[in-house]
């Protein structure tokens, strides 16, 4: 198999044809011309050549059939509704997923992101859902080992791999049944798109997700889908720089007096480091988390940075950070900062962050 940058650059591109572009532009259509018999090719909620190419690309990256959605949460909701009930959800994961289960009437059991606790809650469940690394606590779970145990209980394993991206951490080949990803983050990487996707190990599961999407209409717009495919070409290059910056920053923060705890799976001191080193392809993610003494200190830090935008979300080419507890979604300390490294020069980024900390 070729390297990940090679795969990202070439994924889903049509065969060369004289006079045709490398990546054909978006097709905008509600109905298509369709004479005679009914066909899904007749209507834009069922089929679009721009998504189809993007989904071919995602399938190559994921190693299984993929379906695009209008946002990460639309993808998560599809997985919960199609495979869930009861579903075991991690209590330190992206908080909106539990809310979506509740609003969808999908029975959910919350458990800590710890294999023993997840498995204890999984008795009689249809689906176990994990994030790895979790957002924002950056807990790492061994997907391969957990998949074996979940399957032994007769349940399916879904992995939300948004933070790592499936290019670095191929959840399906590690044994997950379903990979669910918010493509609003590093996958597209420019902080200008809302998208998501679901990939499955089996064609049968993918067909059920497609049927859900056909009926609920949670489809991506063709222009967004095209931009996502265009962005995929630079994914490996972006991630390599972002993760190198994150490791440099985490190492610098680890020695700073104002910081009480630094979490980054790439640091040998992180409890999930060995597992992360095995399953994340050497790319430990763009996100570094650390704790400052108080909410006020965290706010002063954020306004003192000049290269790090105060903003939610992560994975973009511009560095950004936020005081995560402001959302009240996850149990994190008041001074907890989630910082996402962009592709700025490492020296500039580290100097900016350390400068802001020194000014506290
Ligand atoms: C952002 C995010 C989502 C939701 O994705 P949207 O594209 O914002 O709808 C789901 N899971 C994780 C881990 C996320 O970070």
Is any atom of ligand 1 closer than 6 Å to the C-beta of 136?
A: no
Tokens (6 digits) for 179: 């990979």
Task: Using the mean position of ligand 1's atoms as its centre, give its distance from the Cα of residue 135 in Å.
Answer: 9
> Is any atom of ligand 1 closer than 6 Å to the C-beta of 134?
no
- Euclidean distance between CA atoms 200 and 44, whole angstroms: 23
The model's confidence at residue 42, banded by pLDDT at 50, 70 and 90, is very high
Beta bridge partners of 178: 158, 200
Residue whose CA lies nearest to ligand 1 atom number 1: 182
Q: What is the pLDDT of residue 135?
A: 86
Estimate the share of the chain in helix, then strand, then coil, as percent rounded to the nearest 5: 40, 15, 45
The pLDDT-based confidence of 331 (bands split at 50, 70, 90) is: confident
Ligand 1 atom at minimum distance from 196 CA: 7
Compute, in angstroms, the gap from residue 72 CA to the centroid of ligand 1: 5
- Taking alpha carbons only, the member of 77, 101, 28 closest to residue 196 is 77
- Quickly state the pLDDT bin for 73 (edges 50, 70, 90): very high
Q: Where are the beta strands (DSSP E) in 216-327?
A: 261-263, 287-291, 309-310, 320-323
- Cα separation of 142 and 275, whole Å? 6
Summarised one tens digit per residue, pLDDT across range 106-123 is 999 999 999 999 999 999
| Cis peptide bond N-terminal to 142, omega within 30 | no
Query: Per residue in 277-302, is it b (16+ CB within 10 Å) or e — as a string?
Result: bebbbebbbbbbbbbbeeeebbeebb
Position 136 confidence tier, pLDDT thresholds 50, 70, 90: confident
Q: Kindly give the distance from the C-alpha atom of residue 242 to the centroid of ligand 1, in angstroms, as a whole number.
A: 19
Q: How far is CA 324 from the centre of its chain?
A: 17
- The edge-to-edge listing of strands for the beta sheet with 87-90 is 66-69, 196-200, 178-182, 156-160, 127-131, 87-90, 108-111
Task: Assess whether the C-beta atom of 113 lies below 6 angstroms from ligand 1.
Answer: no
* Contact of 325 with 334, CB cutoff 8 Å: yes
Residue 76 beta carbon below 6 angstroms from any ligand 1 atom = yes
Answer yes or no: is the C-beta of 224 below 6 A from any ligand 1 atom.
no
Residue at token pair 């931009």: 227
Find, among 231, 196, 225, the residue nearest to 25 by Cα.
Answer: 225
pLDDT digits (tens, 9 = 90+) for 178-210: 999 999 999 999 999 999 999 999 999 999 999
- pLDDT for res 92: 86
Q: What is the residue with the minimal CA distance to atom 5 of ligand 1?
A: 72
Instruction: Read off the pLDDT band of 1 (50, 70, 90).
Output: low
Ligand 1 center to 296 CA (angstroms): 27
Residue nearest to atom 8 of ligand 1 (CA): 72
Percentage of the chain exceeding pLDDT 70 = 100
Task: Show the beta-strand stretches assigned E in the chain.
Answer: 66-69, 87-90, 108-111, 127-131, 156-160, 178-182, 196-200, 261-263, 287-291, 309-310, 320-323, 336-340
Regarding the beta carbon of 69 and ligand 1, being less than 6 Å apart is answered: no
The per-residue pLDDT of the chain, averaged, comes to 96
Give CB contacts under 8 A, 24+ apart, made by 106-111: 106/80, 106/81, 108/84
Q: What is the pLDDT of residue 95?
A: 87
Q: Check if 139 has its Cβ closer than 6 Å to any atom of ligand 1.
A: no
- Rounded CA-CA distance 205/210 in Å is 9
User: What tokens were used for 209?
Assistant: 């997700």
Q: What is the mean pLDDT of residues 282-291?
A: 97
**C-alpha to C-alpha distance for 16 and 34, rounded to whole angstroms:** 28
Alpha-carbon distance 336 to 78, whole Å? 31
**How far is Cα 185 from Cα 162, in angstroms, rounded to an integer?**
7
Q: Are 298 and 336 in contact (CB under 8 A)?
A: yes
- The pTM of this model reads 0.96
Task: Please report the atom of ligand 1 found closest to the CA of residue 313.
Answer: 1
For a substitution probing ligand 1, which of 79, 100, 137, 162 has the most ligand atoms within 8 Å of its CB?
Answer: 162
**Rounded alpha-carbon distances, angstroms, from residue 25 to 184, 192, 197, 221:** 20, 18, 20, 13
- Token readout for 17 is 């044809």
Judge whether residue 357 has pLDDT over 90. Answer: yes
Question: How far, in Å, from the CA of 313 to the mean position of ligand 1?
Answer: 8
Residue to substitute in 68, 75, 93, 96 for testing ligand 1 pocket (most ligand atoms within 8 angstroms of CB)? 96
**Distance in Å, CA 360 to ligand 1 centroid:** 31
pLDDT of residue 329: 80
Residue with the smallest CA separation from ligand 1 atom 2 is 182
pLDDT of residue 16: 97
Residue ID of nearest Cα to ligand 1 atom 4: 72
Question: Residue 127 forms beta bridges with which residues?
Answer: 87, 156
Nearest to 336 by CA among 294, 305, 303, 301: 294
C-alpha–C-alpha distance, residues 62 and 236, integer Å: 14
Is the pLDDT reported for residue 247 higher than 80? yes
Q: Which atom of ligand 1 is nearest to the CA of 162?
A: 13
Assess contact for 174 and 142: CB atoms under 8 A.
no
179 lines ligand 1 (CB under 6 A): no
């Amino acid at each position: 198999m070729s390297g990940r940058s090679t795969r990202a650059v070439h994924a889903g591109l049509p065969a060369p044809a004289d006079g045709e572009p490398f990546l054909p532009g978006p097709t905008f259509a509600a109905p298509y011309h369709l004479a005679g018999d009914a066909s899904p090719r007749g209507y834009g909620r069922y089929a679009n050549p721009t998504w189809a190419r993007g989904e071919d690309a995602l399938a190559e990256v994921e190693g299984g059939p993929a379906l695009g959605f209008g946002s990460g949460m639309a993808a998560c909701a599809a997985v919960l509704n199609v495979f869930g009930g009861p579903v075991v959800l991690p209590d330190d994961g992206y908080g909106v997923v539990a809310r979506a289960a509740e609003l969808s009437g999908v029975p959910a059991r919350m458990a800590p992101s710890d294999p023993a606790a997840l498995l204890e809650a999984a008795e009689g469940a249809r689906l176990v859902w994990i994030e790895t690394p979790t957002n924002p606590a950056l807990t790492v779970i061994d997907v391969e080992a957990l998949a074996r145990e979940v399957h032994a209980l007769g349940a399916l394993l879904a992995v939300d791999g948004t933070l790592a991206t499936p290019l670095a951490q191929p959840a399906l080949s590690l044994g997950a049944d379903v990979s669910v990803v918010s493509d609003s983050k590093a996958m597209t990487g420019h902080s200008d798109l809302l998208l998501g996707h679901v990939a499955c190990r089996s064609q049968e599961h993918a067909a059920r997700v497609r049927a859900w999407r056909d009926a609920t209409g949670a489809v991506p717009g063709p222009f967004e889908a095209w931009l996502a495919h265009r962005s995929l070409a630079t994914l490996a290059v972006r991630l390599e720089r972002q993760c190198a910056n994150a490791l440099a920053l985490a190492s610098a923060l680890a020695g700073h007096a104002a910081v009480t705890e630094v979490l980054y799976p790439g640091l040998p001191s992180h409890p999930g480091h060995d597992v992360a080193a095995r399953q994340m392809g050497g790319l430990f993610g763009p996100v570094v988390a650390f704790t400052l003494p108080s909410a006020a200190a965290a706010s002063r830090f954020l306004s003192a940075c000049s290269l790090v935008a105060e903003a939610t979300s992560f994975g973009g080419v511009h560095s950004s950070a936020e005081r995560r507890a402001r959302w009240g979604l996850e149990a994190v300390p008041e001074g907890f900062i989630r910082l996402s490294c962009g592709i700025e020069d490492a020296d500039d980024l580290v100097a900016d962050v350390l400068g802001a900390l020194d000014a506290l």
